[in-house]
C-alpha cells in the first residue's frame, strides 16, 4: 500500500491546471470521476459495489483522499482494484495539482475509469476543479432531504447525484419527491440515481450510466 503525503495546495492558476489535466486524461482515454459527499454517506461502500459489479467490463482505479489513515484504500485494494492513498495534511479539499500528484503514482495505461474519492465535506471540495471529467456527489437518506437548501454549490457543480442508503428510507423522515424538487431547482440537468449499495437497488442504472460515460469519454479522446 502506497501513501502519498500532500503538504500544500496548488491553488494559483488551478483552473488552468485542471483543464490541462483533463485533456491529458482524455487523450489517455481515462475518465476521472470526482466523487464528493459528506462523511459517512457511503462513498467507499458504493465504490466497492461498483468495482465488484463492473470488474469484468472496466479496469477501475481509485484515488483515496483523506486527512489521515489509509483504511479506505486498503479496502479498495482488497477488491483487486488499483488504489492510491493521499493525505492532505489537514486540508479539506483536493485541487488539480494534488490530484495530478496522486494520479502520477498510478499506472493509468491499464485504467478505463478512475475515481477520486474526495475529502468528506459538503463545502470545500465543490469549490475546486480537480481536472475530473465528471463531478458526482452522494447524498444519503439519513442526512435528510434539506441538504440541497443548506449546501447548494455541490449540487450545482455535479453532473450526477447518487442518493445512497435507499434501504434506510422506511426508517427516516425523508421526503423523496421534495428532495428531487430541491435538487432539480438548483440543477435541472443533473442525473439522479437513488441506490442501495447494500441491496443492489438502483445500481444497474447507475452502472449503465458509468459504462456509457466511460465509452463516450474514450471516443472523444480518439477524435481529439
Question: Does residue 218 lie within any of the structural domains?
Answer: no
Residues 114-169 pLDDT 10s: 999 999 899 999 999 999 999 999 999 999 999 999 999 999 999 999 999 999 99
How many domains, in total, are found in the chain? 1
Instruction: Look at residue 29 and tell me whether its pLDDT is greater than 60.
Output: yes
Q: How far apart are CA 141 and CA 168, in angstroms?
A: 7
Confidence at residue 161, expressed as pLDDT on a 0 to 100 scale: 98
Residue count of the chain: 224
In a domain, 23, yes or no: yes
Structural domain includes residue 100:
yes
Percent of the chain surpassing pLDDT 90? 80
| 68-120: pLDDT as tens digits | 667 778 889 899 899 998 888 777 889 999 999 999 999 999 899 999 999 98
Q: Around 3, how many Cα atoms within 13 Å sit in the side-chain half-sphere?
A: 14
User: Has residue 210 been placed in a domain?
Assistant: no
**Would you say residue 180 lies in a domain?**
yes
pTM: 0.91
The DSSP call for residue 113 is E
Residue 195 DSSP one-character state? -
What is the C-alpha radius of gyration for the chain, rounded to an integer number of angstroms? 16
CB 113 within 8 A of CB 210: yes
217 domain residue, yes or no? no
pLDDT score of 56 more than 90: yes
The CATH number of whichever domain residue 41 belongs to comes to 3.40.50.300
- Per the CB < 8 A criterion, the answer to whether 192 and 137 are in contact is no
Rounded Cα gap, residues 87 and 80, in angstroms: 22
Max Cα–Cα distance, the chain, nearest Å: 49
Exposed/middle/buried for 79, CB within 10 Å: 0-12, 13-18, 19+? middle
70 and 64 in contact (C-beta within 8 Å)? yes
| Confidence category of residue 224, pLDDT binned at 50, 70, 90 | very low
Q: Which domain holds residue 47?
A: 15-204
Amino acid at each position: 500500500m502506497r501513501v502519498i503525503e500532500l503538504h500544500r495546495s496548488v491553488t494559483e492558476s488551478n483552473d488552468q491546471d485542471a483543464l490541462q489535466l483533463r485533456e491529458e486524461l482524455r487523450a489517455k482515454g481515462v475518465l476521472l470521476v470526482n466523487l464528493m459527499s459528506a462523511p459517512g454517506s457511503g462513498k467507499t461502500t458504493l465504490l466497492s459495489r461498483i468495482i465488484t459489479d463492473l470488474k469484468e467490463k472496466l479496469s477501475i482505479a481509485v484515488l483515496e483522499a483523506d486527512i489521515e489513515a489509509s483504511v479506505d484504500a486498503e479496502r479498495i485494494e482488497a477488491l483487486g482494484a488499483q488504489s492510491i492513498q493521499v493525505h492532505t495534511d489537514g486540508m479539506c479539499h483536493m485541487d488539480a495539482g494534488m490530484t495530478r500528484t496522486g494520479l502520477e503514482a498510478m499506472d493509468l495505461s491499464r485504467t478505463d475509469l478512475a475515481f477520486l474519492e474526495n475529502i468528506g465535506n459538503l463545502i470545500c471540495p465543490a469549490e475546486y476543479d480537480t481536472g475530473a471529467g465528471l463531478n458526482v456527489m452522494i447524498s444519503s437518506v439519513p442526512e435528510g432531504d434539506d441538504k440541497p437548501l443548506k449546501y447548494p454549490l455541490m449540487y450545482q457543480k455535479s453532473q450526477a447525484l447518487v442518493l445512497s442508503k435507499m434501504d434506510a428510507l422506511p426508517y427516516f423522515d425523508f421526503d423523496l419527491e421534495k428532495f428531487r424538487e430541491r435538487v432539480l431547482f438548483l440543477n435541472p440537468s443533473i442525473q439522479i440515481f437513488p441506490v442501495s449499495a447494500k441491496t443492489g437497488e438502483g445500481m444497474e442504472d447507475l452502472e449503465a450510466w458509468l459504462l456509457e460515460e466511460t465509452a463516450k469519454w474514450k471516443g472523444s479522446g480518439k477524435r481529439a
